[in-house]
A and B are shown apart, each in its own frame.
Chain A
Amino acid sequence: MGLVKADGKPAATSKPSPRKYTRDLTGLLAELNDQQPKARRWAARDLVAYGEEAVGALCERLRTEPEPSVREALFDALLAIGGDAVVEGLIPLLRGEDAGLRNGAVEVLGQLPEAVGPRMEVLLADPNPDVRLFGLDILRDLPHPEAPRWLMGVLEQDPHVNVVTVALDRLAEVGTPEMTPAVRAVKDRFPDEPFVAFAVDTALDRILGGE
Chain B
Amino acid sequence: MARAAATQPRCGELHITDAEFDRFRDFFYRKTGIRFEDSKRYFVDKRLIQRIEGTGHRGFRDYFAFMRFQASGEEFQELVNLMTVNETYFFREEYQLRCMVSDLLGEVLHYKRAGETVRIWSMPCSTGEEPYSIALYLLEYWDLIDRVDVEIVASDIDTRALERAKQGLFSKRSVSHLPRWILGKYFEPAPGGYHRLCDDLRASVNFRRINLCDLNETKGMRNFDLIFCRNLLIYFDEASQRLAVQTLYDALNPGGFVLLGHSESMSRITSVFKVRRFRDAVVYQRSA
Contacts and interface: CB of A to CB of B under 8 A. Distances in A.
Q: Do chains A and B touch in the complex (CB under 8 A)?
A: yes
Interface of B is mostly: helix
Contacts of B223: 12
Contact of A209 (B61, B145, B152, B205): B61
Contact of A12 (B135, B152, B220, B242): B220
Of A2, A11, A12, A173, the most chain B CB neighbours within 10 A belong to A2
Interface in B155-175: none
B4 to A, nearest CB: 15
B183 interface: no
A93 interface: no
Interface in B213-247: 215, 219-223, 238-239, 242-243, 246
Interface residues of A, number: 33
Contact of A79 (B19, B242, B250, B270): B242
Interface in B1-22: 17-20, 22
B190 interface: no
A122 interface: no
B98 to A, nearest CB: 19
A6 B151 contact: yes
Of B145, B148, B271, the most chain A CB neighbours within 10 A belong to B271
A180 interface: no
30 contacts: A1-B148, A1-B149, A2-B139, A2-B146, A2-B150, A3-B135, A3-B204, A4-B151, A4-B204, A5-B206, A6-B151, A6-B153, A6-B206, A14-B219, A41-B250, A45-B215, A45-B246, A69-B249, A72-B246, A72-B272, A76-B242, A79-B239, A143-B69, A172-B23, A173-B27, A174-B69, A205-B22, A208-B19, A209-B20, A209-B61
Given A5-B203, A69-B249, A76-B242, 4 more contacts: A3-B139, A3-B151, A5-B206, A72-B271
Interface of B: 17-20, 22-23, 26-27, 60-61, 65, 68-69, 71, 117, 135, 138-139, 145-153, 203-206, 215, 219-223, 238-239, 242-243, 246, 249-250, 270-272, 287
